[in-house]
Structure 1
Amino acid sequence: MARLRFLLIFLFAGYHSGPVRAQLSQTLRLEIPVSATAIQSFDVTPLADQGVMVTTQEGGMWLDNSPPHFTFRKYDTQLRPVWQRDILEDRLMRPVMSFSSGQYSYQLFRGIDNNRFRVIRLNTDDGQLDAFESALIEQMSIQQFKVMGSQAYIGGYFKGRPIVLAFSFFDRSVRVLPGLYANHIEISGLEVDEYNQEVNVLVHSTKRHCQFSVRTYGYDSKLIRSLNFDGAQNSLISGKILPVNENESLLVGNYSSDCTPYSQGVYVTRLRRDSLGFVDGDAAINDIQYIEFSQLANFFNYLKPRQQERMLARANRKKEVGKSYKYRYRLLVHDLIPTPDGLTLVAEVYYPHYRSTTLANGSIRGTDRYDGYQYTHAFLCGFDRAGKLLWDNCLPINGVLSRDLTQKVQVSQLGNKTILAYPNGGQINTEIIQGNTVLQKPEVVRLLTTDGENERVTFSENDELTPWYDRHFLAWGVQKIAARQNYALQREVFYINKLSYTLENELPNLRTATIKKNAEPKR
């Protein structure tokens, strides 16, 4: 059997002097050998202080006729094996999307040449598996998948029109949520509200004025209300909803001033319920606050000082003559983070990157090759429970180009301080902030292999990072590793590194390194 190897390292790199001195150290490492004969994909689901689940898929991928085989492995917080479960799916079923909530992880499959679909529910506590199957609308594309209680919500398009299905695990019934199937409408988001047992479908119109709507459905799939925001002046692009108490939620997102995907700033509004549970829609629409990027104190800190001055000077000249300055930023908005004061909004700024093609004679053919998404920076905004902007901050993102548009920057709290981190090429870039203030400037932490300095990473891809529990992060990806004495001998592994933050007064005086090897659990 292949073996899983663990590394316990207290690695302390030099840290930035300043008001806060803290270190991100690599404390554990898990390596799973990658198959040399089968195509594999890996996924990681953090389970807070209950551990972490690693999902390995073989087969059932693009241009692969073999049946999909899933292996689920749970590890504790010391990355020691807890249990393992395997699923060999029908070869006519293909995995589509996954979702995790509470103690359950869900995997959605659909038929290749029929309209059947199946939801696999995995209890992450003990590994118990349940399967639920029914039928989709034929030729429906799938873009959203969420679960609340014993009901799954599947969103997508049928004949170019949006549609959301509610699928009951109890009686296998499928219902279509009303009021969505229309022309010139796109789904911006699908959110389940466990607190109020509601489902919010956020849609926007592609016609003139780009109306944005939040349509809320009860657990019985009936439409409760529809909030419609006219886009004549400012059109809402995205929205995230966070309940702040039993009577109130905040709707936060980004907006455009010209009905395009390019953001002009962020907005926030309150969704307040009366004693009967009805939301005051007029107040939510009329009291919305628009915050232009130039109103954020630190949004442009990813630029050099002279670039910042030039940009703000251009914006001010426009405003002096009564015109608005058009910012052109594409945003990837994260789920809202609840805080004791209210919430934190995190968004990453990116743009599609194209590469010029050089011909044999040395001339440039043009920028006709799409290369991926280039990230420039992330910004954070803190709001109180009434939707008032308290602070903002910025994290430059250097050298990150991704084929898929996914969240790179991860956020974790360390007391009253906020840790920002993102992976890039086998390294972790970090920064510590507190409100508007940068407490510790960006630093880079290199991920070590099992044999530390005696090995070299020759290739790293699919690097990901996520907060885990307390002050710990998980970093993972696929690496090729060679011994420094012999680069010809390489191994390819899927790695998981546990990273932990330590404040200055907690740093030990001793530096130790211990390697421990355990056998992989038998299948």
Structure 2
Amino acid sequence: MAKVHCLLLCLFALLPTCLWGQEPKQPVRLELPYKLEETEVELMALPDSSLLVYSKTSNVWGTQATFLFEKYNAQLERVWSKEVELEPDSYFERFFTEQPYTYIAFSSDDTRNYKFLKIDLATGAIQATAHKIETIDLIYEYNVLQGRYFVIGRNRQDEKPVLLHINPEKDEIKLLPTIYAEESSFSDLLADAEHQRVDAVLTESNGRISRLQVKSFDADGELINNFFILQQEDKSLLNAEATPGDSATKMLVGTYGTRDLRYSKGFFVTPVASRGEEATFYNLLQLKNSFKFMKPKREKRFRQREAQRLKAGKEPTFRYRFLLHDLISTPTGYVLAAEVYYPQYRNSGGYMDASVRGGSRWLAAYKRTHAIAAGFDRNGVLLWDNSFRLRDLSTPELTHAIEVAYTLDGRMIMAYPEEDQIIYSVMQQDSYSDEKTFVDLKTYEEKEKITSTEEPRLIPWYGSSFAAYGFQRVKSSGNGTRSVFYINKITF
């Protein structure tokens, strides 16, 4: 009896590991009759586990277009469908959901003209307002608080980022007070509905040292608080994400550098109100899995060499650029994910990395080596770290190449689409796996075959589910072929 009891305990102990190792499920697929050459489609995950699907179908000359919004539930069953009249040169830019509405920003060929839609998620009723914004010619970020818009855009005059407040009811547009130095940039924009504030995090640099500034605004764009977080000794604060909360509890989680501000040496956590005096720094060498993208022998030699350099008071040799993801709040704290990348340049002889100098070259792409996730408790103490090796993954522009999600059962999921596959990593805190895991997208029937996939994309949906979507050509069992826009639910 004791042996049976012991066996059961072992089985229960192994159960979570077995579940984490299972292949993701694809419980449902939706196909829509959209064609790649004439339709643009965007998917938006909503807080009630539904999806909002936006489509713009244009004629060959782009002189006519149909704009459609459709809401689908978690089983990809259509809840409602609404058309909206917009000018044919209207372009989807950004969206933000503040229940019970989703707000969408549109630009146009005239970069001064913008339109904002307010969509009732229960009924599909749509309200539209048009605004002429002289200050900017491009939208970077878009948040909403109490129906007021906060927009980070590119200044039309000097191309520096600026922060605007828009009251759509009164058509009032104002430039919010922020320091716009030569090297200033926005690191984060967080609308905190619970505390009725919007926090803007800025990175300020003179090329040698860097500091952070956090400005908090109310729904009317009035300044509530302003904090400067200075560098610590030889450490410059590069970029950061703000946690939700009031000024007493708000923290920054981000990256720091030393001599060369282009490269990150690790992570830091600091209370905003402390002005950086209580910052905690975690060098990448302190992290368990930050160099697992290397082969084991190479990692061992690398760590030994870097430890000797640190002991001798020398700078680390690794040169990592981090692209941060939005901070994820968990029941016990926060998770920060970052993609490690380097620019690829092209010359007459082919590709080369950023360390190569001389000759004629131009930026061709941003290549990823790996992604890092770091989990912290609510006091900023590092609990775990993990990494995801990214093989041959690059983007022509510096945008997120992977999607991340944290589940209620404590798993960290990183994934990205690659043709008709989803490449993924399911992390159990700091338990690292180098196994390449992927799942093939399924069609309606097992005997069908995907012959091509165009513009594959992936977004976190709800819980442990993602939505994979794009355009496909599918060959059926009867030798017929159909072109569709697909949405596959992927549940980890």
TM-score grouping bracket, smaller chain normalisation: 0.7 to 0.9
Letter in 2 for 1:258: R
What number of residue pairs does the alignment pair up? Answer: 466
Deviation sequence 1:356-413 (CA, Å, 0-9, x none): 6569xxxxx9884654332222211111111111111112222323334224132231
Residue 293 of structure 1 pairs with residue 303 of structure 2:
no
> Which residue does 1:157 correspond to in 2?
154
Residue 344 of structure 1 pairs with residue 338 of structure 2:
no
Letter in 2 for 1:389: L
> Which residue does 2:133 correspond to in 1?
136
Equivalent residues in 2 for 1:181-196 (5 A)? 181-196=180-195
> Which residue does 1:127 correspond to in 2?
124
3-state SS of 1:399 partner: strand
Q: CA deviation at 1:49?
A: 4.2
> Which residue does 2:238 correspond to in 1?
237
Equivalent residues in 2 for 1:240-255 (5 A)? 240-243=241-244, 247-255=248-256
Deviation sequence 1:98-137 (CA, Å, 0-9, x none): 3334332222234534733221111222111011233312
> Whose strand proportion is higher, 1 or 2?
1
> Which residue does 1:41 correspond to in 2?
40
> Which residue does 2:206 correspond to in 1?
207
Distance in 2 between residues matched to 1:323 and 1:64, nearest whole Å: 61
Question: Which of 461, 475, 480 pairs up with 1:482?
Answer: 475
Letter in 2 for 1:263: S
Equivalent residues in 2 for 1:210-289 (5 A)? 210-231=210-231, 233-243=234-244, 247-271=248-272, 280=273, 283-289=274-280
3-state SS of 1:96 partner: strand
Q: CA deviation at 1:355?
A: 5.1
3-state SS of 1:27 partner: coil
| Structure-2 change in CA distance of 1:67 and 1:237 (3 Å) | farther
3-state SS of 2:373 partner: strand
> Which residue does 1:32 correspond to in 2?
32
Does the CA-based 8 Å contact 2:230-2:275 persist in structure 1?
Answer: no
Distance in 1 between residues matched to 2:168 and 2:106, nearest whole Å: 15
Deviation sequence 1:338-357 (CA, Å, 0-9, x none): 11211111112222334565
Deviation sequence 1:37-92 (CA, Å, 0-9, x none): x53221111224442111112349xx975355321111111111111111231246
Consecutive unaligned residues of structure 2, counting only runs of 5 or more, are 1-14, 351-357
Letter in 2 for 1:339: T
| Structure-2 change in CA distance of 1:367 and 1:409 (3 Å) | farther
| Structure-2 change in CA distance of 1:106 and 1:66 (3 Å) | farther
> Which residue does 1:102 correspond to in 2?
99
Does the CA-based 8 Å contact 2:201-2:240 persist in structure 1?
Answer: yes
Overall identity of the aligned pairs, in %? 27
> Which residue does 1:52 correspond to in 2?
51
Distance in 1 between residues matched to 2:425 and 2:408, nearest whole Å: 12
> Which residue does 2:142 correspond to in 1?
145
Residue 330 of structure 1 pairs with residue 327 of structure 2:
no
> Which residue does 1:381 correspond to in 2?
374
> Which residue does 2:5 correspond to in 1?
none
> Which residue does 1:166 correspond to in 2?
165
| Structure-2 change in CA distance of 1:403 and 1:67 (3 Å) | farther
Distance in 2 between residues matched to 1:245 and 1:440, nearest whole Å: 40
> Which residue does 1:506 correspond to in 2?
none
> Which residue does 1:362 correspond to in 2?
none
Does the CA-based 8 Å contact 1:432-1:441 persist in structure 2?
Answer: no
| Structure-2 change in CA distance of 1:16 and 1:221 (3 Å) | closer
Letter in 2 for 1:270: P
Letter in 1 for 2:32: I
Distance in 1 between residues matched to 2:185 and 2:415, nearest whole Å: 32
Letter in 2 for 1:58: T
| Structure-2 change in CA distance of 1:199 and 1:314 (3 Å) | same
Distance in 1 between residues matched to 2:57 and 2:237, nearest whole Å: 41
| More displaced 10-residue stretch of structure 1: 108-117 or 299-308 | 108-117
| Structure-2 change in CA distance of 1:49 and 1:93 (3 Å) | closer
Question: Which of 433, 448, 455 pairs up with 2:427?
Answer: 433
Question: Which of 76, 94, 97 pairs up with 1:79?
Answer: 76
3-state SS of 1:22 partner: coil
Does the CA-based 8 Å contact 2:252-2:270 persist in structure 1?
Answer: yes
Higher relative contact order structure (alpha carbons within 8 Å, sequence separation ≥ 6) = 1
Question: Which of 452, 455, 459 pairs up with 1:466?
Answer: 459
Does the CA-based 8 Å contact 1:410-1:465 persist in structure 2?
Answer: no
Deviation sequence 1:1-48 (CA, Å, 0-9, x none): xxxxxxxxxxxxxx9986854331111111112337x53221111224
Q: CA deviation at 1:244?
A: 5.6
Does the CA-based 8 Å contact 1:332-1:407 persist in structure 2?
Answer: no
3-state SS of 1:344 partner: strand
Distance in 1 between residues matched to 2:161 and 2:19, nearest whole Å: 51
Letter in 1 for 2:383: L
Does the CA-based 8 Å contact 1:412-1:467 persist in structure 2?
Answer: no
**C-alpha RMSD over aligned residues:** 3.1
Does the CA-based 8 Å contact 1:299-1:392 persist in structure 2?
Answer: yes
Letter in 2 for 1:497: N
> Which residue does 2:400 correspond to in 1?
406
TM-score by length of 1: 0.80
